[in-house]
Structures are given as structure tokens and as C-alpha cells.
Structure 1
């Protein structure tokens, strides 16, 4: 620790005050500069559900190019995982910076913590597929300058949200032209009794058809006709890896075009932080091709 001579106490105090003032001014200036450098903007909106008589928050990233009032933008809808919420992607990845770099709007809705983005066959109060596909998309198109065709909309998510993205997009090709799943729980059947799936799909023994129909692998036939762009990735040490491999093989057997990636990784944010970079490139290329 620096020791200041006693006979220079007043000068020392004066120097400290000057230093503190300098630090304060520097901190404020740094904050102002950093905010100015933050080219994108972030908004939080409350979006009502016409099916469930309640509202949910959504985080929305607008790229810096949105300042051009003559331009319309593609939208990536990005879903959170089980137990998460609309802030996860923003707080734990660089998705906002990527949205700015690729000049797309990113909408991160809240799909509740454990409802799997389904319209539940056993509980009419759970209408989360309809909420995302209809209410959220309609709100965004009404309040922002978006490209209002499937060519300008993509849907993606992680884990529960990865399942939700494929599940919703497959049933709404008139809304979403592209979809992606990272570490997705794409087949609920091996996870009876886990992740609150029973509360959405019912008893697996007496209502086995619900579980069968919910599996993405049971829905892929429609991809042949719908021609949506599809991206899937998963870590090789993820507990969902077997279901993702099986889905990939089923897609190959049906000669359905898709992008599949498998890397070293687990079911965590380290993997999802890497994955979102690849997804954004995939979607950017999709939007670019579709706009030509």
C-alpha cells in the first residue's frame, strides 16, 4: 500500500478527490460511449394470448439497420428451454450482437416454463402452439416492419424450445419458412415422467397416441410437401442425442433435405452459445436466398 508523508496530508486528500472525480467522470463517459456503441436496441413487450386469456412478456432485438424506415426485416423467433424464460437467450448468449450483424429482428417470447409449446390434447388451457404461431407473430407483424411471409420468418429454440420450434413450424408452413432445433427434446416418449411432459400429454399408458403423435419423427412426412428449411444440432454427450440421431436418420431415409450437426458437448449454455452462431448463419442464408 502506498504511504503518503504526514506533512503532505492535505495534498494527498486533494489528490484522492481529484482521482475519484476522474474515475467518476471516466466511468460515466465509458457508459455513455458503450451505450452509443450499442447499435442494436432491445425492447420488452407484453403479448396477449387470444387462446388463454393472459399475457406473456417477450424480449425483442431490433438491429441497427432498423433505423432505416424504408426497410423491412426478416424475423427469427427464438424459444427458451424447460424452466427458462424470454430473457435466457439474451442474457446468456451474444444473440443481440448476431441479430445486429445479420440485420434481422429476433423475438424471444415466453412460452411458460414447462408446457412444451403444445396445444395440449388433455388440457384446453394450454394453447402454446397457437399462442406462438398466431398471437406472437401477429403482434410482431403489426408493431414492426417485418417481412410478412414464410420467406421472412424462422423459428428456433433450445431443448424444450427446440422441440417447440420443430413442432410449431411443421404445423404452420404458411407462417414459418425455416426452423431449427439445438439440443431439442424431439421425442418425448423416452422421457415419460420427466420434464412435466405428463401434464401436457397425459398418461403414457392410456393415452399413448398423444405421445406418439407428439414425436417429431412421427410428423416428418409433411416436410416432403412443405419444403421448409431445417437445421438440427446436438452435443454428443447430451441426454437427447439418441432421439436427435434417430430423427436425422429418418430424415435421410425419406430423402428430406436438412442440415444436421453433432459436436462434442453437453446440454448446457456452452453448447448453445456456440450453436446460435451456426444457426444465425443458416437463417441468414435462408433469408438471403428467399429474398432473391
Structure 2
């Protein structure tokens, strides 16, 4: 690729830009028809079988959920001549749709993550884009941010892919000016659309990016699976998620959580896909006691199994990095500079390893 310059976030990129160059954040509501019910069944309006879901599926009422949307400076909903790529950024186990914003802190009275994207766009590092910050719990109790392995709110993390495919992406692409149009299901449309969507997440969101997008295991409480937890954390794997490689060409995992699937599993899912992952970017702090082991395990064997279904694979360690936003902002900064480039830049199937 022409752009291999993975670097630490420049300090000035955390500061605000001039007012006319600042993007805006909008919190919006949307309807969700695919989520985990209080009964632990999957509520869905689609033809999803028990063998795929790993549990019974039922009809149910729709939920109203909220997400945050960053729109770049100059975004005009009435200008139909301009369209945008979309990046989805997923939060961690105790976070919500505000974690990348408020938990990340502010500089110059603006969210750091907004300053980061403002600077990237203003300096011509990336094209203007839309960034979506969802709540990753696809459950009836999606506002519950507590860590309880038996909770349906926790189970909802492992079923976010159905909400993403059938509820959130259609909402975004119906209400914002995006290149991608999920309603175009022709082979040419699918190929085009996935080149204009990217997804990445921190910690639990990093697990979701790997397990649910690339294709790994769902998890549930051992109280309900009747099996043993490999991590002694009360969770064990159930069924493989089908993956969403038909929707996304670029995936990032920042300090991916311990329930992330092994690289051999992820690579095998990629190999069975009809599409090539154009870019995989994984990063972790080398002093991260939470995620450094799962980071390594999710890498091991992935390349061998994926074959020619994987483009450039970035493996970036942050020296003395912990499980925090220093690592995750570096991930967002570098990942956003590598995605949405010309197709020929993703032809190589190589590994780029770097320590920052």
C-alpha cells in the first residue's frame, strides 16, 4: 500500500480546529426489530433459524434505541451531490454510545474524538466521512451498562450483528448522505457498498468487530449453556456468527476483549466468505493485562487460514500501552487513514507489524 505510515497521534490532532472546520454530533433514535428478549430468545423480523442463532427466535415489539452520529464540517443534508463513507465505532463492555465521546475526554471544550476527525479531514489526511457511535447491546435492556455475565444486556453484545445488518445500517443509509445503499442487493451493489463502510471497536467492541463481522463465536452465560468457561468468567462460546464481510471491507479491533475468537477460527470464516477483507487493523498496548493475550490469540493462525481472502493485516503494538484511550485513539487515527482508499492499494496480502 502507498500509505504504510502508521504513527502515534500527533498531539495537535487532539486540539480543536477553527469553528468552520468543526464537525457536529447528533444523537438520534432508530427502531430495532432484532434483539435479545427478556426471555433470552432472539426477537427478529427475519427468517433466522435456531441453528444459526443458537437459540429460539420469536416475533416481538420494536425497540427505540439511540446512537450518536458525527457529521463532518460542511455537511448539508439538502446537497444531494455530495456523499460520504461511513465508519462505525463500537464501545466497550461498560460503555455506551457516548464512550468514544465523553469517556475519551475533551480538549478545548470539544470531544477529543471529534477533534481527531476534524483535524484528519482539515489536513487532508482523509476524505470527509460520517462516524456512527452505536450502543452495541442488542437487548431489551440495552441501557444497562452493568457487567453481569448472566444478564441479557451482556448477551446482547453477541447478537449486535443482526441489529447492525437489519436495523442500524438501513437507518443510517436512509437518513444520511452515504455512498452505500443497503437496498441495492445486486452483486455489483454489494461489492460497491462494502467498499464504503468500515467498522472498528475498542475492547468488547473489538471483540464484536472480530467475532461478529469477520466471523467468530457467540457467547452466553455458563448458567444457561451448562458448560465450563475457558476464562473462568462465566461465559462460554455457543455458535459461530455468520459474519458480515458482505457489508464491510475494512475491520479494526483495538484491545479486543478476552472472548474474541482465535485467529484460526476467524481466518477460516474469512476463507469461506465470498468476499475479501480489504484491510484488517489490530492494535493493543503491550502492558494491557486485560487484552494482550486475546490480541495475540486472535492473530495466531489467522493468515494461514484466511488465504487470499485477506488483504493487508496491520498488527500494531503500543509500547507501555494500557487498556485505555491512548491506545484506542491511536487505533482510530491510524485505521481511519488506511480505509476507503483506491482498490488497487489493497491488492497486497501482507503483514505490517509495528510498535509505536
TM-score when scaled to structure 1?
Answer: 0.69
In the alignment, does 2:316 pair up with 1:261? yes
Q: Would the aligned equivalents of 2:262 and 2:300 in 1 still touch at CA under 8 Å?
A: no
Cα gap change, 1:290 to 1:60, in 2 (>3 Å)? farther
In the alignment, does 2:132 pair up with 1:110? no
Query: In structure 2, which of residues 87, 102, 122 is the aligned counterpart of residue 76 of structure 1?
Result: 87
In the alignment, does 2:323 pair up with 1:251? no
Q: What whole-Å deviation, never above 9, does each CA across 1:3-31 have from its counterpart, x for those lacking one?
A: xxxxxxxxxxxxxxxxxxxxxxxxxxxxx
1:279 Cα deviation from its structure 2 partner: 1.6
Q: Would the aligned equivalents of 2:34 and 2:166 in 1 still touch at CA under 8 Å?
A: no
In the alignment, does 2:326 pair up with 1:276? no
Q: SS where residue 282 of structure 2 aligns?
A: strand
In the alignment, does 2:232 pair up with 1:221? no
Structure 1 counterpart of 2:11: none
1:127 Cα deviation from its structure 2 partner: 3.8
Q: What whole-Å deviation, never above 9, does each CA across 1:234-291 have from its counterpart, x for those lacking one?
A: 11111211221222231243454411111220101222122221121122xxx12149
How many pairs align?
227
The 5 A counterparts of 1:232-251 are: 232-238=282-288, 239-251=290-302
The 5 A counterparts of 1:1-292 are: 36-37=19-20, 39-52=22-35, 53-67=62-76, 68-91=79-102, 92=104, 94-100=112-118, 101=121, 102=126, 103-112=128-137, 113=145, 127-148=159-180, 149-170=193-214, 171-185=243-257, 187-188=258-259, 215=262, 217-224=264-271, 225=273, 226-228=275-277, 229-238=279-288, 239-254=290-305, 255=307, 256-257=310-311, 258-264=313-319, 265-283=321-339, 287-290=340-343
Q: Would the aligned equivalents of 1:237 and 1:266 in 2 still touch at CA under 8 Å?
A: yes
Q: Would the aligned equivalents of 1:169 and 1:178 in 2 still touch at CA under 8 Å?
A: no
Which protein shows a greater Rg? 1
Q: SS where residue 57 of structure 1 aligns?
A: strand
Unaligned runs of 5+ in 2: 1-16, 36-61, 105-110, 138-144, 181-192, 215-242, 346-356
Unaligned runs of 5+ in 1: 1-33, 190-213
TM-score when scaled to structure 2?
Answer: 0.57
1:217 Cα deviation from its structure 2 partner: 4.3
Aligned partners of 2:175, 2:167: CA distance in 1, in Å? 12
RMSD between superposed Cα atoms in Å: 3.0
**Bigger fraction of residues in strand:** 2
Aligned partners of 1:278, 1:162: CA distance in 2, in Å? 15
Aligned partners of 2:256, 2:146: CA distance in 1, in Å? 14
Q: Would the aligned equivalents of 1:61 and 1:99 in 2 still touch at CA under 8 Å?
A: no
Aligned partners of 1:268, 1:125: CA distance in 2, in Å? 20
